A and B are shown apart, each in its own frame.
Chain A
Amino acid sequence: EAGVTQSPTHLIKTRGQQATLRCSPISGHTSVYWYQQALGLGLQFLLWYDEGEERNRGNFPPRFSGRQFPNYSSELNVNALELEDSALYLCASSLVFETSGRGNEQFFGPGTRLTVL
């Protein structure tokens, strides 16, 4: 069974441009999460999508946005790129159960390394 896939592997942009990163979850998973790992910093939660809707958002400016498509794949868009947006962007997917208290394991993709020049 295919795991979480992300594209592109590497992306080079210049300041002010827009970047679009893509993620395909594991088949059957409805939740997609985006995380940022900037150089020297730990992983930071960006966005959580489930069933096509944004469910939660981390402490990032509005120029970080995304969407989830009917097939549960997802896009992360970063507008007006800044140098500090250079980072590894990781996507993860999981099943989401209705009952609370049930943790759901997240499976990570290989990441997209974004470099802003």
Chain B
Amino acid sequence: KNEVEQSPQNLTAQEGEFITINCSYSVGISALHWLQQHPGGGIVSLFMLSSGKKKHGRLIATINIQEKHSSLHITASHPRDSAVYICAVRSSRIQGAQKLVFGQGTRLTINP
């Protein structure tokens, strides 16, 4: 079993729909990242969370440390939101460790 699991793996929705992508992890973490990868490969860091909730524009990320679960929400989705969304965690097991462990990604397609 992967240390970081995302669901769904693929998601297709119509423009304007509310989108939720889920991430569950099995290790203790010091931080969780949500990343966006567009075709061509470039990765953009959307959020880094260690507790609570963060909002940026139409994007909202939440994390529940006790349940080891995080969600990424997109409100009023738009075709330009089509991308692969990746959840990544930084394990707290190893002091000073900075490496990220990644989920397999969720491929989001927003149709006009």
Q: A residues within 8 Å of B by Cβ?
A: 31, 33, 35, 37, 42-45, 48, 50, 55-56, 58, 88, 90, 92, 94, 96, 100-108, 110-111, 113
Instruction: Please tell me if B41 contacts chain A, counting CB pairs below 8 Å.
Output: yes
- Residues from chain A with a CB closer than 8 A to the CB of B98 are 31, 33, 48, 50, 55-56, 94, 96, 104, 106
Q: How many A-B residue pairs have CB under 8 A?
A: 68
What 0/1 pattern do residues 5 to 28 of B give for CB contact below 8 A with A?
000000000000000000000000
Interface contact A42-B33, CB-CB below 8 Å: no
Interface contact B48-A103, CB-CB below 8 Å: yes
A-contacting residues, B60-97, CB 8 Å: 86, 88, 90, 92, 94-97
B86 to A: closest C-beta gap in Å:
7
Interface contact A103-B102, CB-CB below 8 Å: no
Name A112's closest neighbour in chain B (CB-CB).
Answer: B41
Given contacts A106-B33, A108-B35, A108-B42, contact A43 B86 (CB under 8 A): yes
